Structure 1
Amino acid sequence: MTVLFDADVSVHYGQLYLVNRDSPDGLDLGEHFRGQANGLCGAAAPESLFLITDRHTGTVALRIELHEREPPVAADWAEVVEVSGTLTGEQPGLSEWGGRWYPLALPPGEYRVRYCGGEDRYLLQFWPGAPAPDAVLRVTKGAYWHEFARSLPPPPTPERWPPRNCGGPPRSGSPLPCAHAGRSSGGGAGSRPVPRCSG
């Protein structure tokens, strides 16, 4: 097992993201959760993960691990979900809502991903795995978000993904605001543009 990240991170609107360094700006909430059973780790859009935290704004502890095979589920996690994802970019990283970016030594490949949540602490585990439906293994406060994901329409086919940049306001009725103004955290090596809605 390799620890890729283990530190406190800032969350706003209960959001964190795993993206490629050169990914287009603009991560849409609904786009990432369409067709899923779980509403905490969105993997329906290509090349990225949309993570939901119970804390709306503040600091949470996050640990990211890379495993050779599926690890056991620890008993002390209140929320546990799994998704499948394929990463092909050479510069994956964790992005905060405000644009701060943390590089991750995560090789390209097909992964099974487990997202665990507790009281202001989270664990993201990767191991090699073929694509499979997402799953909810344990649920407490996350029930609202699971129902939200299940209420969304099916995802479009890959060739019909909507454009990601909008420059306009969030879609009406969106349960989480998105940073449609495209502000950044001031630039620099540790910053990315703020994710925006797809309009």
Structure 2
Amino acid sequence: MIELFSGLIPVHYRFIYLTRMGEYPKHDEARRGQSNGLCGAATPHQLVLITGLHTGQVSLMAEWHPTEPSLDSSWEDVVEVSFDVPQRDLVLASFEYHCSVDVPAVGTHRARYSADSMDAAKHFDQVSHRDLGPDSYLLQLWPAPSEPDRIVRQTSHFAAYWHALAQGS
């Protein structure tokens, strides 16, 4: 396993992108035709990750694995998508924030996005934009053939809302 990122990311309007520098996907297009609404991958070479927290900071760990990692049963909500990594140097971004991420391999990957405490974060009233929300996230990438997205686990009402939104678009 290679750690790509571990830390806090400021979010606004509940999103984080994994993309090429300067490219910012549209949320509706990113999840079009998918069954899950938490990790949009319908736009080539881009992921749109939804957070429970509207504005503030969330904890995120991003990892690259040479093969599919074991599924950790402790995460409340888990989805998977296929993601074509166009180049090794990508960015995690949200509005004015961006952080370089060096992915070890280009080509078709599987992305697993895991979330905790999305319902609590949806109702979290931050005092400032720097407050840390109660939610946390794990993004795992590994080389794999393309296959349809899937909802691995759904326990939060917030995830159910976003899945229904994706399925209706």
After TM superposition, is the score higher than 0.5?
yes
Tell me: higher relative CO, structure 1 or 2? Use CA pairs within 8 A at least 6 residues apart.
2
Tell me what 1:150 maps to: 167
Q: Structure 2, unaligned stretches of length 5 or more?
A: 118-134
Verify the 8 A CA contact 1:22 1:91 in the aligned structure 2.
no
Partners in 1 of 2:48 and 2:67 — Cα distance?
23
Task: Kindly provide the amino acid, as one letter, of the partner of residue 54 in structure 2.
Answer: H
Tell me what 2:93 maps to: 95
How many residues matched? Answer: 149
Task: Kindly provide the amino acid, as one letter, of the partner of residue 19 in structure 1.
Answer: T
Tell me what 1:130 maps to: 145
Verify the 8 A CA contact 1:14 1:55 in the aligned structure 2.
yes
Partner of 2:139, secondary structure, is strand
Partners in 1 of 2:140 and 2:88 — Cα distance?
19
Tell me what 2:52 maps to: 54
Q: Deviations over 1:68-103 (max 9, x none)?
A: 11111111100000000101134211001x221111
Percent identity over the alignment? 40
Kindly indicate which of the two structures has a greater share of residues assigned to helix: 2
Q: How far does residue 46 in structure 1 lie from its aligned partner after superposition?
A: 0.8
Task: Kindly provide the amino acid, as one letter, of the partner of residue 100 in structure 2.
Answer: P
User: Which of 38, 44, 47 is the equivalent residue of 2:36?
Assistant: 38
Partner of 2:30, secondary structure, is helix
TM-score, normalized by length of structure 1? Answer: 0.72
Verify the 8 A CA contact 2:88 2:106 in the aligned structure 1.
yes
Q: Deviations over 1:140-172 (max 9, x none)?
A: 2200000000001xxxxxxxxxxxxxxxxxxxx
User: Which of 69, 75, 78 is the equivalent residue of 2:76?
Assistant: 78
TM-score, normalized by length of structure 2? Answer: 0.85
Runs of 4+ with >6 A deviation: none
Q: Deviations over 1:91-125 (max 9, x none)?
A: 211001x2211111113211000000013110000
Kindly indicate which of the two structures has a greater share of residues assigned to strand: 2
Verify the 8 A CA contact 2:3 2:62 in the aligned structure 1.
yes
Distance 1:90 1:126, change over 3 A: closer
Partner of 2:74, secondary structure, is coil
2:154 pairs with 1:139: yes
RMSD over aligned CA atoms reads 1.1
